[in-house]
Amino acid sequence: AKQQMLEIEGKLPDYLVACVGGGSNAIGLFAPFYGDQAVKMVGVEPAGKGLSTPDHAATITMGTPGIIHGFKCYLLQDEQGEPLPVYSIAAGLDYPGVGPEHSFYKDSGRAQYVTVTDQEAVEAFLKLSKVEGIIPAIESSHAVSYGLKLAAELEQKQTIIICLSGRGDKDVTEIASLLERS
């Protein structure tokens, strides 16, 4: 992405936006830009049914440092340090921990982390599908949702890379079913 931006735009992007569950796709986008302090990195976590409910997987936003799978990271955990049940409409984002790189990026201030609800992700899924003909994975739709909000606040000359980490054809039936119930 870095080389492509330099070739196409002649400059680095202003923002990088990617969904974060465990965080592998986001760190794949973020890592090459780590030393480029002018590039802002935003990880988007699943707020599920809302942060005031237990039905979310906003590990960095709502979690505390803990140990999972042998590494220290932010973790949604109980008083004994056991992982809590988590929820997201996006199966690829419902994980109680996050990669240690994201924990470091948060603590160092190199990246910021925000949340998007299921409803906001579904709206972004529908919008990108309708406007651009791109069916994003519901996981990536979390990043699209935040990217749309961010774009509305920026100057036209500013650029955002949004990581589309998967195809949404796997999600169409679930989204259609969800919309029928609404």
Domain boundaries, the chain: 2-181
The pair of structure tokens assigned to 8 is: 């196409």
Q: What band does 177 get if pLDDT is binned at 50, 70 and 90?
A: confident
Q: What band does 178 get if pLDDT is binned at 50, 70 and 90?
A: confident
Residue 32's pLDDT is 98
pLDDT reading at 109 higher than 80: yes
More confident residue, 182 or 175: 175
Q: How far apart are CA 83 and CA 10, in angstroms?
A: 45
Strand partners of residue 136: 167
Residue 150's pLDDT is 99
Total residue length of the chain:
182
Residue 86's pLDDT is 98
DSSP conformation class of 164: -
44-93 tens-digit pLDDT: 999 999 999 999 999 999 999 999 999 999 999 999 999 999 999 999 99
pLDDT reading at 137 higher than 90: yes
CATH number of the 2-181 domain: 3.40.50.1100
CB–CB of 69/139 below 8 Å?
Answer: no
Q: How far apart are CA 85 and CA 30, in angstroms?
A: 28
Residue 181's pLDDT is 87
Q: How far apart are CA 120 and CA 150, in angstroms?
A: 14
